[in-house]
Amino acid sequence: MTRNPLRWLGALLVLYLGLPIALFVVRFVSARERGFHVAGLFSSLWISVSCASVSLAVICVLGTPLAYVLARSTSRVARLVEIAITLPLALPPVMGGIIVVYLVGPYSSLGRLFDRQLTNSVYGICIAMTFCSAPFLILAARAAFASIDQGLLDVASTLGHSEMSRFFRVAVPVAGPGIRAGMTMTWLRAFGEYGAVTILAYNPASLPVYTVNQFMARGIAPTLAPTMLALIVAGGIVLVSRARLPKLAHVDLSEITPVPPTLKPSSRLRFDISKQLGSFQLKIKHVTQSDNLAVLGPSGSGKSALLRSLAGLYGPGAGEVSYGNDVVSNVKPERRPVGYVSQGFSLFPHLTVWQNLNFPKNATRGIAAYWLGHLQLDGLENRYPSEISGGQRQRVALAQALCHSPEVLLLDEPFSALDMPIRRELHRELRRLQQETGLATVIVTHDPQEAAFLSQEVIVISDGASLQSGTNRQVFSRPASPEVARLLGISNLHHALVVAPGSIDSGGTAIAVDTDGMAPGAQVLWSIRPEHVIVRTVDDQASLVAADPADEGLVGTLSDIADVGTAVDLFVTLNDELELHARVVDPVDLSVGQRCRVVMDRSAISLWANPNVALAAAPTKVPAPQ
C-alpha cells in the first residue's frame, strides 16, 4: 500500500468497526452455548423483520413523494418541514418514543379511538420504527431528487408527460440509487430500533428487546444467536441493495416497419414574452416571417429563458405565445405541440436509445424506427446514453423530439458541447431536416455562423431585450448598433470623427461614407464586414461600384496574412490607430509588409453617432434593407 495518509486514516476507522465484529465471530464459533434453543428467538426475529418491512413500505409510499416536493421547493414552509423531519434524528430513541406516546398512547385521543391497541402490540412496534427511521429515506431521497438535471424533467413535460408521469417515469428511476440507499438505511434503522420500541411496545418482543432481556437475565452467552442472526440479516439486506437490476430485453428492429411521420405545415410563431426571473427581466416581442428563426446573444442574455417561455416551462404568466393560429399562452407544456432539445442533450440515462425515442406520449414504434434510420442511429437502439458518443447523443435527442411529431422544434444551443467536425456534420443534418420536413425551428445560439446557417431570420438579444431582428441579410449586413455588430462577430468596428458631409476621419485616415446630415465634429462609430473590404495592389486602380474618386481606395501596409483553410484573412494597417480586416476566398499575390490599396463601398459601411452612450442605442442612420 502506498504511503497515503488518507488511506491510513480510513484504515483506522475500518479497523475500529471491523475488529469487534471479527472478535464476535471468533467467540461465536468457539462457544458451546449460543442461545439458539431459547424460546422466543425466531419469533422475535420475525417480528423485527416484518415490522421493519411494513415500516419501510409506509415510509416509501409517503416519504418518497414528500422528498420530491421538498427537492423542488424553495419556500420557507419547505425548509420548516425539513427541520421537523430531521428532529427525530437528534432525539435519543427513548425520548422519541415518549413523544410518540402523546399521539398514540392508550390515553390519547387516537389511542382511545383504536381501543388502546396502538401500544404493546405489533402496531406499536411499527409506529416506533417508522418515527425513528423515516428521516433516513426522506433526506436521502431529497438529495437524490435535488441532483436530477432539471432539463430531464423539462424535456419530459414537452414530450407530453404530466407531473405524476414525470415523477414515476423520470424522477424516481433517475434518483433510484439514492432512494435505494435511503431505503437500506431506513430498513436497517427500523430493524435495530430499541429505545422507542421499549416505550411503545415492550411486548411482543422485537429482536433487540429480546436480546437485551436475555443479556440482563442470563448473561452474554444467549445473546450470541440473536446477534449473529442480526448480522446475517443486515448483511443480506446490504447485498440485496447493491445488486444490479438486469437490463431489459433487446429490441429487434427487423420486426418493426418504419412509418414516415405526418408533420403539419410550418407554424409561424408570434410571441410577446414578459417574464421576471429574480432581478432579470425578459421582455421580447416578435412575429416570425419565415420557418426558421435563430436567437443570438451572449451568455446570460435570456436566450434559454426565451426558449423555455415558448415551450411553456414558465407557465402561463410568461406572456403570449401563438403557433400559427393556435394561441397556446395558457396551455401546459405537456399539451403544446413542440419538440424541445435542451442544453446537454437531456437524454434519460436509465433508458436505452430505443426507449428514449419511444418516450414521447404520442410516439409509435414505427415512427421511432423511421427516425432511428433517418438520423443514422441504426445499431445503437439497445445502448444507453452513457454508451454512445456526444454526436450520437445529440442525434438521439433530436430524434426523440421529432418522435413527438411537433409543429415547432425548439433547440437550446444543441451543438455547443460538440467538436467542430461533429458540429458541422450535425449543422448539415439539421438543415437537411428543415428542408425536407418544412418544420418550423427556433434555435438558440451564441455562434453567429451557426445562427446564419440554420435560420432564415434572426433576433439578436442582450440583457433580456431585442437589439435587432430581421432576415439574416438584413441583420448581418446592417447591424443596428455597435453592440449588435460585436455580437455578430464583425471585426471592423472603429471610432471616427465627421469632418465634412460624406467624409469621416478615423485615426487620421479620411473615409468616404454617407453621413446623412451629421454635423462636422460629431463623434461616430463605423463598421464594415470583412467580406466587403477589397484589397488590391497599389498599381491596381480599378474601381468597383462607384465613380467617385474617393471610393477608389486607401493606401496602407499589409500587416498580416492568415490562411484559415476556407478563406484568407488579410490585415491592413492604414494608420497607427486603424487596422482593417479583409476576408477573401482565393489566395492573394501579396506579402506581409507590402503596400496595398483598400477599397470599400460606402453603401456597405454602417455608421453610428454618439459612441459614448450605451452601445445598444439605435443608430442615427441605418440604410433601408434591400
What is the per-residue pLDDT across 94-129, written as a single tens digit (0 to 9) for each?
999 999 999 999 989 999 999 988 999 999 999 999
Q: How far apart are the first and last CA of the chain?
A: 75
Give the H/E segment covering residue 543: none
Question: How many C-beta neighbours within 10 Å does residue 357 have?
Answer: 26
| Burial per residue of 378-400, b for 16 or more beta-carbon CB atoms within 10 angstroms, e otherwise | eebbbbbbeebeebbbbbbbbbb
Cα–Cα dist 306/280, whole Å: 12
What confidence score (pLDDT) does residue 41 get? 94
What confidence score (pLDDT) does residue 479 get? 85
Q: How confident is the model at residue 493 (pLDDT cuts 50, 70, 90)?
A: confident
Q: How confident is the model at residue 545 (pLDDT cuts 50, 70, 90)?
A: very low
Give me 217's grid cell: 437475565
- Looking at the predicted structure, is the pLDDT value of residue 482 above 60? yes
- Looking at the predicted structure, is the pLDDT value of residue 161 above 60? yes
Dump pLDDT digits (tens) for 376-428: 898 899 999 999 988 889 889 999 999 998 989 999 988 877 777 888 888 88
Beta carbons of 597 and 553 less than 8 angstroms apart: yes
Cα–Cα dist 562/560, whole Å: 7
Dump pLDDT digits (tens) for 596-626: 999 998 888 888 876 554 333 334 333 333 3
Give me the mean pLDDT over the 435-453 stretch: 89
HSE-CB at 359 with a 13 A cutoff on CA atoms is 34
Cα–Cα dist 536/222, whole Å: 103
Q: How confident is the model at residue 551 (pLDDT cuts 50, 70, 90)?
A: low
Counting residues of the chain whose pLDDT is more than 90, the rounded percentage is 59
What confidence score (pLDDT) does residue 181 get? 95
- Looking at the predicted structure, is the pLDDT value of residue 509 above 70? yes
The domains located in the chain, with CATH, are 27-242 (1.10.3720.10), 258-477 (3.40.50.300), 492-609 (2.40.50.140)
Give me the mean pLDDT over the 517-545 stretch: 80
Give the H/E segment covering residue 111: helix 109-113
Dump pLDDT digits (tens) for 298-313: 989 999 999 999 999 9
What confidence score (pLDDT) does residue 542 get? 52
Give me 317's grid cell: 404568466
Q: Which of 331, 335, 352, 271 is nearest to 305 (CA)?
A: 271
Dump pLDDT digits (tens) for 7-59: 888 889 999 999 999 999 999 999 888 889 899 999 999 999 999 999 999 99
Could you tell me whether strands 440-445 and 493-500 are parallel, antiparallel, or unpaired per DSSP bridges?
unpaired
Q: How many helices (H) and strands (E) does the chain have?
A: 21, 20
Beta carbons of 503 and 600 less than 8 angstroms apart: no
What confidence score (pLDDT) does residue 566 get? 81
Give me the mean pLDDT over the 367-377 stretch: 90
What confidence score (pLDDT) does residue 141 get? 97
Give me 388's grid cell: 454512445
What confidence score (pLDDT) does residue 390 get? 85
What confidence score (pLDDT) does residue 613 get? 40
Residue indicated by cell numbers 447493491: 242
Sheet holding 533-537, edge to edge: 533-537, 595-600, 554-563, 568-575, 578-584
Beta carbons of 580 and 459 less than 8 angstroms apart: no
Ordered DSSP codes for 362-389: T--HHHHHHHHHHTT-TT-TTS-GGGS-
Cα–Cα dist 472/290, whole Å: 11
Most confident of 55-59, 437-441, 474-478: 55-59
What confidence score (pLDDT) does residue 252 get? 84
- Looking at the predicted structure, is the pLDDT value of residue 262 above 90? no
What confidence score (pLDDT) does residue 547 get? 42
What confidence score (pLDDT) does residue 617 get? 38
What confidence score (pLDDT) does residue 620 get? 39
Beta carbons of 432 and 454 less than 8 angstroms apart: no
Give me the mean pLDDT over the 506-514 stretch: 91
Beta carbons of 513 and 500 less than 8 angstroms apart: no
Mean pLDDT of the chain: 88
Beta carbons of 342 and 150 less than 8 angstroms apart: no
Most confident of 164-178, 244-258, 548-562: 164-178
Cα–Cα dist 483/475, whole Å: 12
- Pairwise pLDDT comparison (620 vs 206), residue with the higher score: 206
Residue 204 CB contacts under 8 Å (≥ 6 apart), including other chains: 43, 44, 47, 121, 122, 125
- Pairwise pLDDT comparison (45 vs 491), residue with the higher score: 45
Give me the mean pLDDT over the 580-587 stretch: 89
